[in-house]
Structures are given as structure tokens and as C-alpha cells.
Amino acid sequence: MIMGKEKLIPLAAMVLILIGAGSSAYVYATQTNTDNITINGQQYTIDQIFHTAKLRTFDSLNFSGIALDDLIIKTGVGCLECHEYTIIGDDGYQKTVTWKNMQEGLLTKDSMTVFSDLPKAYRIKNVVKIEVI
């Protein structure tokens, strides 16, 4: 039996609403606590991070924070250029960058990454994890 448009389109709309609602519930349920940031398997508070790494400022972008490359060095990662770094936000948003990008990046006090050499899509809010891969 072929379904007519008058049945198929409302059904498709209902399915999409269910997908959207289901995804919203999943995102809400899996939202991560942002008090700590896990870097290469070790947990740090934002205050610890700011005491550990050196400061960096992007005057043209009007952002300041701690240097991401220095943070990685201080957390004891070896062979820095051999790895890539996946930065993950509390909403699951994640981006993978190279060591070269990390050298142009900072983490603000609000736990947001900013890279002077990458587009805004790489500004990950409420960072909860930096994975070394």
C-alpha cells in the first residue's frame, strides 16, 4: 500500500519531533559536571590550572587565559608534536587540534578555548576534558 502525502508528511514531522525530543533528553541526561577538567586522564580544578600554566592574551580577539601548550607541557605529556588533542565541552561538543594549534590557543577562566589560528567553531565552551591522542 502506498502512503499518501497527507499521511506521510505529518508522520515524518512527528518522527523528526521525536528525534529532536529524544536527543534533547539524551543531551540533558549526559551533560557533564564542569567543576573539574580532565587532562590526559588527570583531574584538575580551574584554579589549579590557572596556578600551573602561564598566561596568554590575544589582544586582537580580546581574550586572555592560560596557554594551552604550556598547560599540556605542565601536565607531563611527552613527545608533544606526536599527539593530537581532543578538547571536549560539557555538551559533548568536541574538536581535535594539532600541537601547532595548541601553541596558538588559550583556556579562559570560564573554561572556554580560544585559538588565534582557528575559526570560532573551535571556541569550545565549558571544557570538561582534554584528551591526548
**Rule CB under 8 A: is residue 128 a binding residue for another protein?**
no
Q: Minimum CB separation from another protein for residue 68, in Å?
A: 14
Query: 75-114: which residues touch another protein (CB under 8 A)?
Result: 84, 86, 91-98, 101
Residue number, 4 or 76, with CB nearest to another protein: 4
**Which of helix, strand or coil describes residue 115?**
strand
Cβ(94)–Cβ(87) under 8 Å?
Answer: yes
**Rule CB under 8 A: is residue 61 a binding residue for another protein?**
no
| C-alpha distances out from residue 71 to 28, 30, 61, 84, 94, Å | 30, 27, 21, 14, 18
Which of 2, 3, 5, 76 is in the footprint of another protein by CB under 8 A? 5
The span from the CA of 87 to the CA of 38, in Å, is 10
Residues in the interface with another protein (CB under 8 A) total: 32
Q: Minimum CB separation from another protein for residue 82, in Å?
A: 15
Q: Minimum CB separation from another protein for residue 16, in Å?
A: 4
Query: H or E element: which one contains 12?
Result: helix 5-30
Residue type, 49: I
Cβ(83)–Cβ(132) under 8 Å?
Answer: yes
- Give residues in contact with another protein (CB under 8 A): 5-6, 9-10, 12-13, 16-17, 19-21, 23-24, 26-27, 30, 84, 86, 91-98, 101, 118-122
